[in-house]
Amino acid sequence: MNVLFVCLGNICRSPMAESMFRQLVNSAGLSDQIKVDSAGTSNEEEGNRPHPEARAVMQSHHLSVEGLVSRPITQRDFAWADYIICMDNMNLYNLRRLAPAADQTKIHLANELVPGHEKTEIPDPWYTHRFEDTYQSLARALPLWLKQIKRQLN
Ligand code: 4NP
């Protein structure tokens, strides 16, 4: 199973989600069965490491920041991924516009599985500077995705 996290710049929310989800997958002993990556809908930050405040929050939660480098999503990603999990409605709109028809059902909002928050966004900390809030929102949503994906493993 391949899981791709997507935000706008791929320097704040989606690399944090990638690192957090990889740690969840590793802790569950599923790293052979679930692959994790992230990308941005924009190429604005291509080649850049995560935002310094995102890195600081990740490190404060003992998450790895190794190997995280921003890149824009490509058509190959749509084929590769089984799940494309994005952060806000703008990501959703852009992904639906970019994705081939056959891959549309792969696209989800991160909060979709969080009871009572199904349609809520994970706001862009690039603007809010609330990077710890981003971590907390992802910490609530990501275990629910792992639970769902685990059910589909054979
Ligand atoms: P992200 O945050 O989508 O969570 O990575 C942003 C990073 C960069 C920009 C916007 C949002 N930017 O405009 O460059």
- The C-alpha torsion from 62 through 63 and 68 to 71, rounded to 10°, is -130
Q: How high is the pLDDT of residue 154?
A: 72
SS3 content of the chain, % helix, strand, coil (to 5): 50, 15, 40
Decide: pTM greater than 0.95. Answer: yes
Separation between Cα atoms, residue 16 and residue 22, nearest integer Å = 10
Pocket test for ligand 1, best of 11, 70, 88 (most atoms within 8 A of CB): 11
What's the CATH code of the domain at 124? 3.40.50.2300
Q: Which of 71, 103, 124, 130 is catalytic?
A: 124
Does the annotation count 13 as an active-site position?
yes
Neighbours of 114 (CB within 10 A): 15
**Ligand 1 atom 13: the closest Cα is on which residue?**
9
Q: How many domains does the chain have?
A: 1
- Token pair for 31: 């790293």
Q: Which domain holds residue 141?
A: 2-153
From first to last of its 154 residues, the chain has per-residue pLDDT tens of: 999 999 999 999 999 999 999 999 999 999 999 999 999 999 999 999 999 999 999 999 999 999 999 999 999 999 999 999 999 999 999 999 999 999 999 999 999 999 999 999 999 999 899 999 999 999 999 999 999 999 999 7
Does the annotation count 12 as an active-site position?
no
